[in-house]
Structure 1
């Protein structure tokens, strides 16, 4: 059995990304663009994509490692979850040769980005309620529907949209069995519009609502087989969960490192506050939780890269759950360790209070993961 202990190559990659991220200073006018471009030049953005198309030839294992280290240095790139992990993976596995030639080299070198649209106003956790439809019109496709909470549409060159064919319709016009189809929709396609959602979360990547009003697409916009169903969809969703875990673990590590540094130096009485167990033990517990979450993330990434989609699905959900919980606890404890300073802009932890909740909520809530584990792993009956 292959060990989950990191290889020398992975250890070296982790050190290189960490060094790069720690020496990068974000600029106010382009908080992520410069970092994205520089990371792409070093091969980090496309590390999971095939070498034949300009990528690094690695897998989600390597990509999640990169995102974790970027986050641990305080420079996370949310679009890594979307562009190379979801969209790049789906195109690499199921795209036509023309789609691979057009998109994979550009996704790998950072010159183009792709967003991903699946969530709808009435179809959040229940993807079987997706109502965005794709119908044939001659050789073309016509897409109609709405999507919400789509990240980075304003900076993406196209969006990979999840729809369903009309042949999947049920009674009285309601969706029948889910047969998802994936379409590459260019940002300037007629009938494709966006509206930014006003979020309390002030991240560099904005969230959008999308409207598709009879968006006409050529036949070659379809990625993969229109009858492939859930196989193609989960080829992107499992990496999404693994990468979300990496995002959360990186954020938690960053918060924890700031708290440890503060606890070592802050002296109120005779010794630094980190000498007191009331401070030290919760930080130690947060570290343990993050390390355990990382192990599950590594297991999920290993299974996915080995081609075990079923095993990866279970592990990816568990990793995302564990990482989300560990991240929230680490951020909360870091803020409490700093006291009032934890809420100042100077120390940069207060904004993570909101950001850390993202890993609990998206791309799937912790409650739905518990439902999944209950009936898929434990064999308990469904409640829904």
Structure 2
């Protein structure tokens, strides 16, 4: 594979987004509507979506760069992982012409958002146990969805949710995954906020679909290509989660470095002591290595190599999650007691950094993937 080296255009985009994000107040735990709209106006939110529908015509490489720099400035936008990366990508690749015309322009300009619902209470990381089902009404041709979803971000601010359900294969009788666009106000589509200790503007919800009736054109793509379409969204999700973690880790590290250069207890700033300097250097190295894997994954995805991107995206997400947690923990320890104060704003990252390690797939399941798919080891389940 050709080494991934940032082009001049990428460097310019990174610099522009960094300057933009740094000129806005920190948004972690606060309403991000204004920041989202401002970023969309500059073309950052829809940079990966097709130009024909108002997007930037670029790819996940550019979108992940935007999210990383937003996070590095203390302004991560969690819904970038969901709305343009997962939902926008799936609709752009597999949606009907009408779905593209209806959804891609407003997703690109930030005027509409879309959430994504896959996780279920009893399925967890096992997508084969998804019980949300979709059946055809023979009389009307409508789809009727029934089931539950949990840990769905931003449903209250999204205009619709892309729901992963399962339909019955007429030939085999087995259930196969399919994707449906469910409007926020659809009858029978109920949401309940989950009480989280996570400080984030985007809330988490449990969803109930009680015979939610949808028109035939709510189905995204081909009914028989569910897995292909599903992973077309899940690979960008992992890449963007990596960008989210790397950005957060860089932000925490920058605060720690600023403190370590100035804080003086004895004769020199504490950053001169190797007990402080070396762990911060290690955190920087870990973040840089994670970024390289993220760039590789994004490059493979944008090149159309879904198989190669799947492996790299999982590795990137794993590396970034671990690097983020270590960087945040080390930043807090560098500041000592000050690391737990509101003034410095690092303590809330202790919880937030775990998102990059836990979601959308746990580190253990990624290790399972690599051991089975990459190393060829047998499964225990």
The reply to whether TM is greater than 0.5 is yes
CA contact (8 A) 1:128 1:177 kept: no
Partner of residue 244 from structure 2, selected from 244, 247, 250: 247
Question: Aligned runs of 1:339-354 on 2, under 5 Å?
Answer: 339-354=336-351
Q: Name the counterpart of 1:34.
A: 34
Q: Name the counterpart of 2:71.
A: 71
What is the CA distance between 1:229 and its match in structure 2? 2.4
CA distance in 2, matches of 1:60, 1:183: 22
CA contact (8 A) 1:168 1:179 kept: no
CA distance in 1, matches of 2:278, 2:325: 16
* SS of residue matched to 1:179: strand
Taking structure 1 as reference, are residues 352 and 207 closer, same or farther at Cα in structure 2, changes over 3 Å only?
same
CA distance in 2, matches of 1:130, 1:142: 16
Partner of residue 327 from structure 1, selected from 321, 324, 327: 324
Structure 1 unaligned regions, length at least 5: 171-175
What is the CA distance between 1:25 and its match in structure 2? 1.9
* SS of residue matched to 1:91: helix
CA contact (8 A) 2:120 2:130 kept: yes
Query: How many residue pairs were aligned?
Result: 379
Q: Name the counterpart of 2:258.
A: 261
What is the CA distance between 1:178 and its match in structure 2? 5.0
CA contact (8 A) 2:86 2:233 kept: yes
Judge which range, 160-169 or 289-298, deviates more: 160-169
Q: Name the counterpart of 2:149.
A: 147
Taking structure 1 as reference, are residues 87 and 347 closer, same or farther at Cα in structure 2, changes over 3 Å only?
same
* SS of residue matched to 1:194: strand
1:156-184 CA deviation, whole Å, 9 max, x = no partner?
000000000033899xxxxx855110000
Q: Name the counterpart of 1:233.
A: 230
1:274-328 CA deviation, whole Å, 9 max, x = no partner?
0000000000000000000000000000000000000000000000000000000
CA contact (8 A) 2:179 2:226 kept: no
CA distance in 2, matches of 1:109, 1:368: 35
Say whether residues 1:56 and 2:56 are aligned partners.
Answer: yes
Say whether residues 1:365 and 2:362 are aligned partners.
Answer: yes
Say whether residues 1:286 and 2:283 are aligned partners.
Answer: yes
Give the root-mean-square deviation of aligned CA atoms.
1.5
Say whether residues 1:210 and 2:225 are aligned partners.
Answer: no
Say whether residues 1:196 and 2:193 are aligned partners.
Answer: yes
CA distance in 1, matches of 2:75, 2:46: 17
CA distance in 2, matches of 1:345, 1:30: 14
1:28-79 CA deviation, whole Å, 9 max, x = no partner?
9962000000000000000000000000000000000000000000000000
Q: Name the counterpart of 2:299.
A: 302
Q: Name the counterpart of 1:25.
A: 25
Taking structure 1 as reference, are residues 269 and 28 closer, same or farther at Cα in structure 2, changes over 3 Å only?
closer
CA distance in 1, matches of 2:375, 2:365: 14
CA contact (8 A) 2:28 2:76 kept: no
Taking structure 1 as reference, are residues 169 and 337 closer, same or farther at Cα in structure 2, changes over 3 Å only?
farther
Partner of residue 312 from structure 2, selected from 296, 312, 315: 315
Partner of residue 159 from structure 1, selected from 151, 158, 161: 161
CA contact (8 A) 2:134 2:167 kept: yes
1:342-380 CA deviation, whole Å, 9 max, x = no partner?
000000000000000111110000000000000100000
Q: Name the counterpart of 1:382.
A: 379
What is the CA distance between 1:10 and its match in structure 2? 0.1
Q: Name the counterpart of 1:126.
A: 126
CA distance in 2, matches of 1:279, 1:188: 53
What is the CA distance between 1:27 and its match in structure 2? 7.3
